[in-house]
Chain A
Amino acid sequence: MTEIFLAGKWALVVFVMVGAVPMVAAAYQFLLVAVHFRRNHYAACAAYFPRTAILVPAWNEALVIGASIDRLMKLNYPPAALRVFVVDDASTDDTPGVILAKAAEYPGQVFHLRREKGGEGKAHTLNHGLRIILGDDWMQALLIMDADVIYEADSLRMMTRHLSDPTVGAVTAYIKEGSRPGNYLTRFIGFEYITAQAAARRGQNVLGAVACLAGGAQLHSRTNLETIGGRIDTSSLAEDTFTTFKTQMAGNRVVFEPHATVWAEEPGTIGGLWKQRLRWARGNVQVTKQFARVWCRPSRVHRLGSFSFSVFWFCLFLLPLLMILASASLIILYFAALPTAWVAFHFLWIINALTYVFITSFVVMIDWQTGRHTWLQGILFPGAISLAIIIGSCFPRLLRMIFYDVLPLTGVMVTSGERRCLVLFAYAWLALSMAVAYIGKVIEPRWFGRLLSPAFIYIAGYGPLLCACTFASYVKELRGAEMTWDKTEKTGKVAMPT
């Protein structure tokens, strides 16, 4: 009986510590950034200007598409080697009129492609354009972008230089949050994009396996497009990740170019963000299932099956479950073996604290231009309560001073019962934080929500909000919910900082 109890206790301790694996994996991925100066693709680059077709899917983009085309025409790229194809996905506003006017302004460079049956999703719209562009010999490279993103003048040129190496099939750029005026949420997204793109994708460059070509900035060689079948997958909500995986599985390399910057407008409300991220997260569930035979199976053709890449992928994919598992195990340990629970809790949060300090400080330095505007959101990324737990775990003497010296001075006496409740709350917080962040999303549309929902996100954390979204995607996929393409609402208020 004692042996069973001991085995159970250690199993629970392992479950608790598994909760720290995603943070350790993230720190490892970011450590790889430090060797990016040695392991990159620059040595194989050359000044190269292939004839590039830019494919822009557009549905009711009359407000932004004209300015987007004008900006594309001003890219530092040979005009004779640049053509823009706008696929008008049965727009009901003045999108066709604007595109036709631009086609007249830039003859031979801007083309209007009309789909009469629209609303089937981005992949269908892209395939309509792809069929036409691949039907002609002119195109040597294809850039897929969104109607409202802004390319810095040199970005395309910086991307095409990698295609001079025939082993490279696709190149992606650094998408930066550019909503103007921004708000607390867009600043969280700005910080998140440094971690998820500027940092993580550099690490993936080092590994030789890239998780995703950003939907708004994917440059393909013609050969690569033909190798993967000349069409974009329409069976999932993550068509860009599907394309990325298929490219690498076909033996073509995918490169992230961190110095090619593209500015994008991101959702300014939790509701808008939730819709966008739910689509991405469901897409990731579909990719995980579809490419089940890739994980942890090293291949001579690609690096997607490497152990490191698989760990990175599953740490993100399973993060909500791991958080719930760690919390549940801590609570069981609290009732079954209190001293063990206390030690496991401390180890878990000290590991979290050390990785948090490394990741947050490094990320701010990786892109200081964004980091100096978003450092507060970076610090509060895990939420104010998690931050308090981190400080309490790292510096227990500080905690004792607050409880036994400072609070009694203010007349507040914490009883042992209240202390036990606080401890239990801290044990449950990893799982609870997702629920509290979700409440922030639920109350946002109410009259008091505009005021309170940001407070919920700052308290519970932006990270837990994304985890709650991933958890919701599991539920949607398990229920077999209908796949609808919810277009992210855009206002056209995106700009490059001057």
Chain B
Amino acid sequence: VTFRVRDHAPSGLARVTQDRPAIPRAPLPAPTFEDEIRAALSYERGLAGKALVAIALVAVVLAVRFLFLS
């Protein structure tokens, strides 16, 4: 696969186009079992971060209560 930078792009920015005729793209390979497990674990790790965000919200409520509106 080769790429070329098209000159005189209307926006003034270099645009990258694929220098070959459009053909139907082959389907992406199905994720492997390991990929799926990795994705699942990554999502679960993200939930730990989200829990921290929720705890931070509670801290904000407490701060507002004691600092301004007690």
Known: A35-B48, A37-B48. A42 touches B41 (CB 8 A): yes
Residue interface mask A9-32, B partner, CB < 8 A = 1: 000000000000000000000110
Does B3 have its Cβ within 8 Å of any Cβ on chain A?
no
Whether A394 contacts B61 by the Cβ 8 Å rule is: yes
Taking CB atoms, residues of chain A closer than 8 Å to B36 are: 158
Q: For the complex, give the distance between the alpha carbons of A359 and B33 in Å.
A: 32
Q: Which of A34, A158, A353, A398 contacts B47 (CB 8 A)?
A: A34
Whether B68 contacts A357 by the Cβ 8 Å rule is: no
Does A362 have its Cβ within 8 Å of any Cβ on chain B?
yes
Q: A158-B36, A358-B54, A362-B50 are in contact. List 19 more A-B contacts (CB 8 A).
A: A34-B48, A37-B44, A259-B40, A259-B43, A350-B65, A353-B61, A354-B62, A358-B57, A361-B53, A362-B51, A362-B53, A362-B54, A365-B53, A365-B54, A394-B61, A394-B65, A395-B70, A396-B70, A398-B69
Taking CB atoms, residues of chain A closer than 8 Å to B64 are: 395
CB contacts under 8 Å to A, within B10-63, are 33, 36-37, 40-41, 43-45, 47-48, 50-55, 57-58, 61-62
Whether A358 contacts B58 by the Cβ 8 Å rule is: yes
Does A222 have its Cβ within 8 Å of any Cβ on chain B?
no
Known: A47-B33, A357-B58. A365 touches B69 (CB 8 A): no
Does A306 have its Cβ within 8 Å of any Cβ on chain B?
no
Does A117 have its Cβ within 8 Å of any Cβ on chain B?
no
Taking CB atoms, residues of chain A closer than 8 Å to B52 are: 34
Known: A353-B61, A397-B70. A31 touches B44 (CB 8 A): no
A sample of 21 cross-chain residue pairs with beta-carbon separation below 8 angstroms, ordered by A number, consists of A33-B47, A34-B47, A36-B44, A37-B41, A37-B45, A42-B41, A47-B33, A259-B40, A259-B43, A354-B61, A354-B62, A357-B54, A358-B58, A359-B54, A361-B54, A361-B57, A365-B53, A395-B70, A396-B69, A396-B70, A397-B70
Taking CB atoms, residues of chain B closer than 8 Å to A365 are: 47, 50, 53-54
Distance (Å) between the CB of A323 and the closest chain B CB?
22
Q: Which of B37, B40, B51, B69 contacts A34 (CB 8 A)?
A: B51
Which B residue sits closest to A40, measured CB to CB?
B44
Q: Which of A31, A259, A357, A396 contacts B51 (CB 8 A)?
A: A31
Distance (Å) between the CB of B63 and the closest chain A CB?
11
Interface of chain B, helix or strand or loop or mixed?
helix
Residues of B that sit less than 8 Å from A by CB: 33, 36-37, 40-41, 43-45, 47-48, 50-55, 57-58, 61-62, 64-65, 68-70
Taking CB atoms, residues of chain B closer than 8 Å to A336 are: none
Which A residue sits closest to B48, measured CB to CB?
A34
Q: For the complex, give the distance between the alpha carbons of A40 and B47 in Å.
A: 13
Q: Which of B47, B58, B68, B69 contacts A366 (CB 8 A)?
A: B47
Known: A36-B47, A259-B40, A395-B64. A46 touches B54 (CB 8 A): no
Whether B68 contacts A397 by the Cβ 8 Å rule is: yes
Taking CB atoms, residues of chain B closer than 8 Å to A34 are: 47-48, 51-52
Does A45 have its Cβ within 8 Å of any Cβ on chain B?
yes
Q: For the complex, give the distance between the alpha carbons of A202 and B37 in Å.
A: 16
Q: For the complex, give the distance between the alpha carbons of A451 and B5 in Å.
A: 62
Q: Which of B37, B43, B55, B65 contacts A358 (CB 8 A)?
A: B55
Distance (Å) between the CB of B45 and the closest chain A CB?
4
Distance (Å) between the CB of B27 and the closest chain A CB?
13
Number of A-B contacts (CB under 8 A): 70
CB contacts under 8 Å to B, within A360-390, are 361-362, 365-366
Distance (Å) between the CB of B17 and the closest chain A CB?
30
Q: For the complex, give the distance between the alpha carbons of A259 and B40 in Å.
A: 7
Residues of A that sit less than 8 Å from B by CB: 30-31, 33-37, 40, 42, 45-47, 158, 161, 202, 259, 350, 353-354, 357-359, 361-362, 365-366, 394-398
Q: Which of A30, A35, A40, A357 contacts B57 (CB 8 A)?
A: A357
Taking CB atoms, residues of chain A closer than 8 Å to B57 are: 357-358, 361
Taking CB atoms, residues of chain A closer than 8 Å to B54 are: 357-359, 361-362, 365
Cβ-closest 8 pairs across A and B = A37-B44, A34-B51, A362-B54, A395-B69, A365-B50, A47-B33, A397-B69, A37-B45
Q: For the complex, give the distance between the alpha carbons of A202 and B50 in Å.
A: 14
Taking CB atoms, residues of chain A closer than 8 Å to B58 are: 354, 357-358
Distance (Å) between the CB of A314 and the closest chain B CB?
24
Which B residue sits closest to A47, measured CB to CB?
B33
Taking CB atoms, residues of chain B closer than 8 Å to A40 are: 41, 44
Q: For the complex, give the distance between the alpha carbons of A397 and B54 in Å.
A: 24
Taking CB atoms, residues of chain B closer than 8 Å to A397 are: 68-70
Distance (Å) between the CB of A152 and the closest chain B CB?
13
